[in-house]
Amino acid sequence: MSRVKPSPRIKLTALLSACAIASAVAATSSLIAPSRAGAAPAAPRAQFTAAQVRAEVRPAEVRALGRDEAEYLAWGRLEYRAAQQQTAKPGARRDEEEGPDNGYPDPLRIRRLEMLRQTQAATNAAYDSRVFGKFTDYFPSPDYGDHIALLPTGKVLLFSFEAIQTDPTQEPAPTNIIGAHNAGRAYLWDPKEGTKPTAFKAVPPPLVNLPDGKNALRPAPFFCAGHAFLPNGMLGVFGGNLGGNGGAGAHLSLIFDPWTEQWTRNPDMSVGRWYPSVVTGADGRQLIMSGQSDLGWGTPTPVVERFPAKSHPVPVNPGEVPHAPVDRFRADAPFTTDYPQLFSLNDGKIYGLGRTPNEQWKFDPKLETRTDLPPRPDQLPAGVTARNYGSAVALPGGYKGPDSALILGGDRTDPNTYLLSGGHWSKQKPRAFGRTQDDTLIMPDGLLMTVNGAFDIRDYGNGPYNPNADLKYRHTEFRDEQGNWRLGPVQRLPRGYHSNAVILPDGRVMITGDELQSIANNPNIKSGMNGTIEIYEPSYLHNGTRPDLNAAPTGSLHYNKSFTVTSKTPDRVTRAVLLAPITSTHSVDTGQRHVELQITGRSGGQLTLQTPPLAAAAPPGYYMLFLLDSTGVPSVAKWIKLEEKQSGGGI
């Protein structure tokens, strides 16, 4: 039976109040999930009394998310249980045999989490925070954080899916589910609010009816999509889960507006994509590549699409949501594996680095052509044809922007890193061990830090769907100026598949993701707080006071132009850098970027800086501006906006 959840924007409190009045007249009155205006007739829906909905509301969700969202989640749980009962075999006692504790009781989760806490504390006692930094906070989040984006408002967007399983020895994602329970969800976290009840806000995606034969509205299942920032600070999200056949691609094209904190649905793409990659080029347009088609797993599409279509303008004004279609890029990208690494380097070309060694290509956004690059000299085990998911970065290239890319993770048997520079590959210094599902960050000082990682997908070293992990994967790892790597302190959870991390404007690192570990280590699986967040303070926050960045321009800045910032400590400032905000999933972040700015003048409390020479050095959009002292300690960042043409929009 099709199930339709009510829109979270509907005030359920009002519905409950109305129902309570009706109950006084007729004891049999009930609540029915409301229909959207103009929606096609749906199959019969579940009916619940006001008392049932109120009884299902969890106090922890009310405190964390507010009454309306808590009631929405309560309604969803009632719908889900009703669906289970409809599909159960006659006589089956699903309410007893299935549920949060089936096969995986809460005491086991509590014991594991305590073990991880104790071993983290014991291990990290040996690491000097002045050299290695330190982990500080660990707290619950309402979302798993399988997808993440640091927005130019300073808030962090988290999105994933509504889980179908709370036993971590089973698959929790609705990859093969069709209908209403193949649904997405999204939240904002405000770092300024920290762990307060007001820190999280639900921002549900639009309700959609997918072509899966169920005629069921559900919050858009945009998990396993690709995403990148547009020049106006909005996030383009493409693809998602249609459901069935091991992962079929949805045609979804969505925009998240950080200024209004709302989603918009655009015309669908021409092809379905599950696990695509998206990159923003120097022209501000996005190229969308790869992803399993709407036929399911094993059918990656070679079609490259562009957003917005060339017939529509590039969105530069933060007050204007782009209502635009995609169009087809003339060259194809015949990747045989999904989620390729894509980078826009300082020659203006897009480099598509596939997980298969011989699928390495360069795309020209102006000519719409594809040319071959040499195969990557991977050392894959016999019989293995492609790397797993693993991190890669566009290496800092000074004032001119990045001209090379470093491939790091994805091969658990090979700790070496591989550099693409000048159209040629070379093997670089190794990390301590190979890992997959990792995330590598470019820090404000230009050095690299790796977090997260695992043996394989849903495998932490003791077999698939066993949350007991080889704890070496909890280690952070750092690369110095000479390219040497060394291990650092360990995080609380051994996060692998679907893990993420972002650098915050204050220089701290937020780590989240991996729903399997979140489920396995949730001390209260019924709390409504489904994921967790960890905070890491880099060593530069433990080496004296920070230089000051008091003010920076709030309007748009053009390329190769001077601009002025103010500082209370101008004499301490030796470097100024731009850091692009991270938006990542599945170890892919196509937009991460570190660009030096020239300091061309000093006068009292003012510093004169020079913007990057061309958009190829730093594509248009929002960046964090950090001032650093001679030891690499950064200021708290200010946001600036780079733009080819004046839009009149500011921060």
Query: According to the 3-state scheme, what is the secondary structure of 473-534?
Result: HHEEEEECCCCCEEEEEECCCCCCCCEEEEECCCCCEEEEECHHHHHHCCCCCCCCCCEEEE
> DSSP secondary-structure letter at 649?
-
* DSSP bridge pairs for 238: 226, 253
472 conformational bin, left if phi > 0, alpha if psi -120 to 50, beta if neither:
alpha
Strand order in the sheet with 562-566: 556-557, 638-642, 621-628, 575-579, 594-603, 606-610, 562-566
Amino acid in position 205: P
Which pair of structure tokens corresponds to residue 544?
């004296």
Task: Give the residues across from 361 on adjacent strands.
Answer: 352, 372
* Predicted pLDDT of residue 248: 97
Rounded CA-CA distance 287/364 in Å is 11
Largest separation between any pair of C-alpha atoms in the chain: 82
Residue 20: the pLDDT is: 32
310 C-beta neighbours (distance < 10 Å), count? 12
CA distance 553 to 565: 7
DSSP string of 70-81?
HHHHHHHHHHHH
Domains located in the chain, CATH noted: 12-97 (no CATH), 106-542 (2.130.10.80), 556-642 (2.60.40.10)
Mean pLDDT by runs of 10 across the 651 residues of the chain is: 32 34 30 32 46 78 66 65 52 41 82 98 98 98 98 98 94 95 97 94 96 95 98 98 95 98 98 98 98 96 98 95 97 98 98 98 98 97 96 98 98 98 98 98 98 97 96 98 97 98 98 98 93 98 97 97 98 98 98 98 97 98 98 98 67 40
- How deeply is 137 buried, as exposed, middle or buried, from its count of CB atoms within 10 A (0-12, 13-18, 19+)? middle
Which residue spans within 300-452 are E strands per DSSP?
Answer: 305-307, 327-328, 341-344, 350-353, 360-364, 369-372, 392-394, 404-407, 417-421, 424-428, 439-442, 448-451
On the question of a cis peptide bond just before residue 570, with omega within 30 degrees of 0, the verdict is no
H/E stretch holding 518: helix 515-520
pLDDT of residue 536: 98
CB 53 within 8 A of CB 188: no
Torsion angle defined by CA atoms of residues 45, 48, 49 and 54, in that order, rounded to the nearest 10 degrees: -130
Query: Which has the closest alpha carbon to 512: 593, 439, 435?
Result: 439
Counting Cβ atoms within 10 Å, is residue 242 exposed (0-12), middle (13-18) or buried (19+)? buried
Position 446, amino acid: G
Cα–Cα distance measured from residue 15 to residue 441, given in angstroms and rounded to the nearest whole number: 46
pLDDT of residue 364: 98
Backbone angles phi, psi at 114, to 5 degrees: -65, -40
| The predicted structure's pLDDT at residue 54 | 80
Q: What is the DSSP string of 319-346?
A: T-------EE-SS----SSSS-EEEE-T
CA 510 from chain centre, in angstroms, equals 12
Q: Are the C-beta atoms of 514 and 148 separated by less than 8 Å?
A: no
Backbone angles phi, psi at 115, to 5 degrees: -60, -45
Write the CA distances from 15 to 30, 205, 613, integer angstroms: 10, 22, 57
568/510 Cα distance (integer angstroms): 28
Contacts of 54 (CB under 8 A, 6+ apart): 16, 74
DSSP, collapsed to helix, strand or coil, labels residue 83 as helix
Quote the pTM value: 0.85
- At residue 76, the pLDDT reads 63
Q: Report helix, strand or coil for 226.
A: strand
- Tokens read off for 240: 């998602």
Is residue 327 within 8 Å of 310, Cβ to Cβ?
yes
- Tokens read off for 573: 């400032």
Sort 147 into a burial class: Cβ within 10 Å, 0-12 / 13-18 / 19+: buried
Within 10 A of 420 (CB to CB), how many other CB atoms are there? 26
Pull the structure tokens for residue 24.
């006084």
